[in-house]
Structures are given as structure tokens and as C-alpha cells.
Structure 1
């Protein structure tokens, strides 16, 4: 289960990075007919992110009927077709169509994989590390793409770009085969009224019979949450996204899911990933050094994610996001200062390279795995597909803006575009402090209590969940949310 989802997320990262290493090579430009105009290459790169944003909106509607498993399978199928079209492209329109189909596939996958792994967890301490592991594979896919690009683009034939583009289909095939033999999550089965299948999966996850106390306790907690969400006053309405009056504050939670990944993108990471070679060339490095250091930079980006699975439960979601955002702001101030100098020297150039590498490492640790986990885990059970889709929509919408507009801005305004990223890194600190309560150590059902109104906390169902998990009198997150 973990491997199938990890390969799907690895494909997501690989697809995000693979074009960046080949889009300026002569064989690729020859195949595309040497397109002219400032907008063509950014449109090829960003068409995939725009398609993923559109697909994320679709998942908010069809995600619950389709189920978590089928969404991932559908995503894998789209990528196989899209990768085939891209690898065989001889024109800009064909490669854009292939990128769009891959974008649809990655939209399904990015919305669903964190939700699937979070809902398959049977202990709260498993959920963070499991989703963090998926994000390790996600960013490892970016690094793999740049190293593969760096290696094959030493050749001067069409294979130099077609092979790395086609290779993304390998991840989709293996992930799809694995998912085909896996069930959906027990929470989805119960939410759909398919209790017998939910019982079977829950029993298999615990590796215990259905009548075991641990299995029954978790089932009753899930069923209690479903009953709470089905009460008339807690029914979700689209207007709640703008003015939330529900007892469970579902609209507020979905807004946070959207915003946390929107801010993540505005902090500049995809501009760095998609245009690594362009950014390094603008610093003043040669084409060879730019390609080599782009691979090194994205390897450090991946390396940062490797430290998250073992520390996310120890440090907590809030602390990791807040302190890493502070560090990213400092890095961005230094980076902007170095590249904004009118008379750069070798010292300022290499300082800028070193800082952007440190920035990528810190970002990989603090702002990849945690935001992807946080959105789905704070959403109510029956709206978790909407929470995941809202987060992915924010990710892809602002990814499109930064990749398309940012690519043009790099050509027209140069280093000044990074001021936007600097301000976004700084804005992330108060956003997390005031709007994101701590969820570490809580079951998915207990998180409802962090956001719920006091009347719900005092209800019989809430008391039952407190007794099951010893929720106790922890008020820090609750008080903060009530103040907001």
C-alpha cells in the first residue's frame, strides 16, 4: 500500500521536474520546431499544472462517489496516456495535450494519495510518518528527473529528451498494478454504507478479528463521527466556504486546506524546481554548471524530506511549519540581496547558489510533507475528499501562476520576482500561528473536536470519543481557534 502510493507520488515529483532539464536543449527545440515567443515554453511547462488544478476541482465533486482507490487508479491511467503522447510529440500542440492529460492524472493522485494513507492509519502516530514518506518519494522524483536529464542530455539525439519524458509511465504502471489489488479505506466504506467491506479492511489493517476490542473501538469512533456529520446542522453547503456557521466548522477547515498549500506555492519552490537551470544561468553560471547544480540543488531538496518522517510526531506540525518558514524568509532575504547587486562578483554568485541550496533543503523538510498531510487530516470524514481537493487546487492554481507568470517574469524583471517569494515566506509564519492548531497525536476523529463549537465538544458523542482516546483537557489548539 505504501509502495504503490509512494510510486504515484514519486511520479508526481518526477513529472514536475523532468521538463525543466530538457526544455532548453537543441534536440527538444528541434522537435518542437524552435518555438518563438516569450509565452510558449512557460505554457508547455504550466499546462500540466493548470490541468491538475481543474482536475482538483472535479475531485471535490466526484471524489466521494469514485472512492480513494479508484481516483488513484484513474490518475495512473491518465499519466500512461499522457506520457506516451509527450514522448512521441513532434509539435507544441501535441506535447501540450500530453502535458494536460498528465496534469489530469497528477490532479487525481495529488488530491487522493495523502487522504488514502491518512485514512488507512490505525494509530495517530502512524499518520504523519506515513504521509511524510510519500513526500520523500515525491521530492526524490524531482531529483531523479534532473539527474536523468543531466545524464541523457549529454547525447545530441532525440532519445536525449524522449526517454526521460516516457519514463514517467513506468511509475504509473507499477503504481496502478499495486493499487489494483488493494482495497479502499475503511472510513470510505463506512461513509458509503458498505459496512461489511469496512469491517473486513479494518480487521485486516489491525491484523485482528472483528470482535477484537481495538477493532471495535476504532469502528465505533468512525461511526460516531459519521453520525455527527450527518446531523442536519452539520450538513455542508458551498456557502460555508465563505461564511461558516456550522458546529463542525467544515468550511473553515476546507479554507485552511486550500490556503496552506497555496501559500506553499507562493513561497517559490516550483519556480525554483521548474526553472532551476534558468535561475542558475541568470546568476551567471555556465550552461553545464547550471544543469549540474540544478541536479545537486534538487537532490538537497529531496534530502530535506528524509528527516521529516522520524521527527514529525516529535516536533509537531505547527512548530515545523513556523520555524522552517522563519528560516526560509532569512534565506530568501540573503538570496535576493546577492542576486540584486548591480556589480556581482564570484563571491556573491556562489553565496546565492549556496543559499538557494539551503533554501531547498529547509523547504523539503518543513513545507512539503506537513502541508500535504495537514489539509486532509483536518477535514471531516465525509468531506475529506473536498479537503484534499481544496489543498491540491490551491497547490496547482498557484503552481500554474508561479510557473507560467514566473517563467515570463524571470525573462522580463529578473531577480525582482523573488521579492514576491520573500514576502510569501514571511506571511506563512502568522498564517500558521493564528489559523493552524496542532493536530499531532490526535486521531482523525478527535481532530473534529479541535475545530468544533463548544456545544459539540460537550455532546455525548464527543464525550465518547474522549473516553476512547483520552482527549482530556488539552485546550491550546481549541482556544486558539475560538479566538480566531
Structure 2
């Protein structure tokens, strides 16, 4: 919710006279888009930096660093009296979110015991993220109503960013890092203890030992995977590490080019352009983001049934159709525009939010970290977050300027990108639903490597071994854990 609240909190405030007065009434069409988008650029830069220090620092400490930066940035923004000061605060907050966005999906993926857990867990996280955006708009709307008598009230929602960061850090200090990270750092006793705690079983239990052996075998196998930067552009290596890292970046880069943050950041402005009052535009913006939040919850139950690839493919087409209808309705000749066409355009934006929230919010965030090898998973997390924030910066800065310059025609840009994204998913993204992280290594490996991995008990052979262990447990009476068969993985085998 910190992530979402932080992204949305400026949207309901940035056009108010009291906010503009406080920062010196900046002139020029680029100033507000710069203030809004510099946060995304900072997050992209920090996400790249995480690729350098993420493995050394660990997933947990990277998130804690992000929480600290958010607290500092929120204090600077809430006390701003100039454009320069609020830009500095936005940059610091952006760096904090860059750490969080890089590490949280990886942390969740590596803490999952079964393949079927990853999708719902990350979708739940993303649903809370969008709930944070909606919450920010409603809080903004409430405080904006009192600005005429108390012009300082815009500072309160901005300062509240720190509350989420403090809560996040307060909970995380009681949690360990992931067992896979400890295994990679050769801290075997700590990894064993955490893996046993996750299973709720003794360290010498066959289920714990089976997963430990598979992770260690996968780490040993990954050490044989040589990687250089050229693989990011053309990868014919045995393990396709470059392709997997490139996909982690591109899938989230594509997500933002569908136009979602243009609608989130400038929803109030979009409704003002349709001729609605400031009051009604504020309500519609809050309702829009609430609809987005509600639409993001069903994937928690459906992502493992439908699959990542199918959800992204079909909903990108759906988003494109919604965007096309919206553009047609808002670019009709003035003589043809009326109350009905305006409300139809609002309905199309709402429907777009529902479709995007269902199929393009969670799956890209899951897909990137889970296809990456353990050795480079922090790199994949950083590249994925960088792709998301870099494209968000492009869309927010370019979109904000475009809305002012050409109006609704600017949405032709994301319209085209919706159909390009559908083609990319169809041709370049294999399905990963139902596979463990180690089995995904097997999915991307070449055939001669797969044969060797089968002999080592990784991939399909590893899944068969776990199935066998759990079946034996059923006969020995360990009822609490023996029912945890990964049915989807068994079907794959």
C-alpha cells in the first residue's frame, strides 16, 4: 500500500491553487509533469543500482533501506516551499520505491513453498498496491475540501507516506531473509532453519531435505551458466540467462506503455478536460482508482487457473479495444459531443481499469522474478522495476505534456502499444504457471542441459521426486503437510 499510496498521492493535490502557491506558482507546461515524473526516473535509477548491491545486501535489507528513504523523502516533500525542494523529496522517495519494487516480488517468490502459491501471493500484494492508490485519491479528496480555510492541509497526505514505511519496516525487522538467499551466500545453517520454519517441519524431514537438495543443485548448476551483457541482446547460451533477464525488463516496460499510469496520475485532469467541475472530477478520479483496486482482487483466485500468459495476452487486447472506443468518443466533432458521449467515455476508462487490473497488474510482476535464475534473481528484480519505472516516467512526462497539448489524441500512443504487447506476450513469453522456480530453470534450458538436470534431480525429475516423498508421507501419517501436492506441477510431469 505504501508503493501505491506514494504513486497516487500527488495526483489529487498537484492542480490545487494552495499547492501551487506553496511552491511559488511555477510557470510552464513542463513543471508539474517534471515534479510528478521525476519520482519514476529516480525509482528506475535505484532499481538499476539494486542489480549491483542487491545480492550482497539481501532482499530484506534492501526493502528496509527503501522504507528509510521513503521516510526522509516524505518529510522533505511535506515541508516544501519551492519547486526544488519538492523535486528533491520526490527523488529520495523514488529511490526508496526503487528498492522496494526490486526486492519485494523476489522476496515473496523465494518465500513460496509451492508453485501455486506465488501467483496468488504477488497478486494479493499488487491488489493492496492499487488499494493504496485509491486510498491516496480519497484522502486527497477529503483534505482538498478544507484547503480554502487551511491552505497547509495538502501537506498532511504527503506526510502520511512515512506512516506506511514505518509500518512496513516495523513488521519486516521480525522476519528473516529468504532461504534461497542464505543458501546462495553459503549460510547453510540459517537457510536450513528458515526452510524448516516455512514448512513447519524438523530440519531433517524428507520434504525439507528434498527442497534443500534441489535448491543447492540448482545453485551449483547455475554456477556453470556463463553470462555477458551481449546476451541481453542476442542469447543462444545453454541457460538463456540473457533472454530471461531481458524478458524481466521488457514485460514490465510493456506494462506501462499500455497507458495505465497516464490514467492514474492525470485522472483528475482527464475528467476536467471532459468538462466536469473540480469537485466532480475529484470524485470521479477517486472512484476510477477504487474500481481499479476492486478489479485487482479477482486474480488472487484466478491466476493459477488461467495462467500468466493467457491473462496478459487477452487483457492487452481488451485494453486496446477500450482505449480505441474512448479515443473515438472524445475526438468526435463538438457538435456530436454531449452528456451521453462524455459519460460513455468515462465508462470506457472505468472498463479499461477493470480489464487492466485483472490481467496486466499482477502477472508481469510475478513473471520477471520467477523466470530468472537464482544467481541473477536480484538483477531480474532490478531490471523489472527499472523497466516499469522508466516506462512510467516516459508515459507520465510525455502523457502529461501530451494531454495539455493535444488532448485525448495522445491516447493513440498507448492504444498501439496494447496490441504490440499482446504480440510480444504471444510469441516471446512461455507459460510458467504451476512450475517451481527450479523447474523454470529446466523450462529455459537447452535439451542437453535438461538431460543433465534430470540426472541431478532438478526440473521434471525434481518434481517427481517431491511427489514421491509426499506420497510416502501420506502413508506415514504426517497429515498436516502431506496434502500439499502441487497438482498443476504433477499434471505437467
1 CA distance for matches of 2:338 and 2:10?
30
**Paired residue for 1:185?**
178
- Report SS of the residue matched to 2:81: coil
2 CA distance for matches of 1:177 and 1:347?
50
- Report SS of the residue matched to 1:65: helix
Q: CA deviation at 1:467?
A: 2.5
**Paired residue for 1:470?**
464
**Paired residue for 1:353?**
346
For residue 300 of structure 2, the aligned residue among 296, 309, 320 is 309
Q: Encode CA deviations 1:171-203: one digit per residue, 9 max, x unaligned.
A: 000101111121100000111111111111101
**Paired residue for 1:202?**
195
For residue 92 of structure 1, the aligned residue among 67, 83, 88 is 83
For residue 284 of structure 2, the aligned residue among 293, 300, 314 is 293
Q: Is the 8 A contact 2:454 2:461 kept in 1?
A: no
TM-score when normalising by structure 1: 0.94
Q: Is residue 421 of structure 1 aligned with residue 417 of structure 2? A: no
**Paired residue for 1:65?**
56
Q: Encode CA deviations 1:106-145: one digit per residue, 9 max, x unaligned.
A: 0000011000000000111111111111101110000000
For residue 332 of structure 1, the aligned residue among 305, 323, 326 is 323
For residue 280 of structure 1, the aligned residue among 249, 271, 279 is 271
- Report SS of the residue matched to 1:35: coil
Q: Is residue 372 of structure 1 aligned with residue 365 of structure 2? A: yes
**Paired residue for 2:482?**
none
- Report SS of the residue matched to 1:437: coil
For residue 33 of structure 2, the aligned residue among 18, 42, 63 is 42
2 CA distance for matches of 1:437 and 1:460?
20
Cα 1:462–1:73 change in 2 (3 A) is farther
Q: Is residue 155 of structure 1 aligned with residue 149 of structure 2? A: no
Q: Is the 8 A contact 1:78 1:104 kept in 2?
A: yes
- Report SS of the residue matched to 2:177: coil
Q: Is residue 265 of structure 1 aligned with residue 259 of structure 2? A: no
Q: Is residue 447 of structure 1 aligned with residue 457 of structure 2? A: no
Q: CA deviation at 1:159?
A: 3.6
Q: CA deviation at 1:463?
A: 5.8
Q: CA deviation at 1:286?
A: 1.5
Q: CA deviation at 1:246?
A: 2.0
Q: Is the 8 A contact 1:228 1:461 kept in 2?
A: no
- Report SS of the residue matched to 2:236: coil
- Report SS of the residue matched to 2:441: helix
Q: CA deviation at 1:13?
A: 0.6
1 CA distance for matches of 2:200 and 2:167?
26
**Paired residue for 1:4?**
none
2 CA distance for matches of 1:364 and 1:110?
18
Q: Is the 8 A contact 1:449 1:462 kept in 2?
A: no
Q: CA deviation at 1:236?
A: 2.1
- Report SS of the residue matched to 2:332: coil
Q: Is the 8 A contact 1:456 1:462 kept in 2?
A: no
**Paired residue for 1:382?**
375
Cα 1:332–1:210 change in 2 (3 A) is same
Q: Is the 8 A contact 1:457 1:463 kept in 2?
A: no
- Name stretches of at least 5 consecutive residues in structure 1 with no aligned partner: 1-9, 473-484
Cα 1:146–1:412 change in 2 (3 A) is same
1 CA distance for matches of 2:127 and 2:291?
12
**Paired residue for 2:475?**
none
**Paired residue for 1:53?**
44
Q: Is the 8 A contact 2:47 2:102 kept in 1?
A: yes
Q: Is residue 130 of structure 1 aligned with residue 121 of structure 2? A: yes
1 CA distance for matches of 2:454 and 2:189?
23
Q: CA deviation at 1:461?
A: 4.6
Number of positions where the alignment pairs a residue of Structure 1 with one of Structure 2: 461
Which protein has the larger Cα radius of gyration, Structure 1 or Structure 2?
2
**Paired residue for 1:7?**
none
Q: Is the 8 A contact 2:454 2:462 kept in 1?
A: no
- Report SS of the residue matched to 1:240: helix
- Report SS of the residue matched to 1:442: coil
TM-score when normalising by structure 2: 0.92
Q: CA deviation at 1:468?
A: 2.7
Alignment RMSD = 1.2
2 CA distance for matches of 1:361 and 1:130?
20
**Paired residue for 1:477?**
none
Q: Is the 8 A contact 1:154 1:160 kept in 2?
A: no
Q: Encode CA deviations 1:386-431: one digit per residue, 9 max, x unaligned.
A: 1111111110111001111111111111111100110111111111
Q: CA deviation at 1:239?
A: 1.9
- Name stretches of at least 5 consecutive residues in structure 2 with no aligned partner: 468-493
- Report SS of the residue matched to 2:383: helix
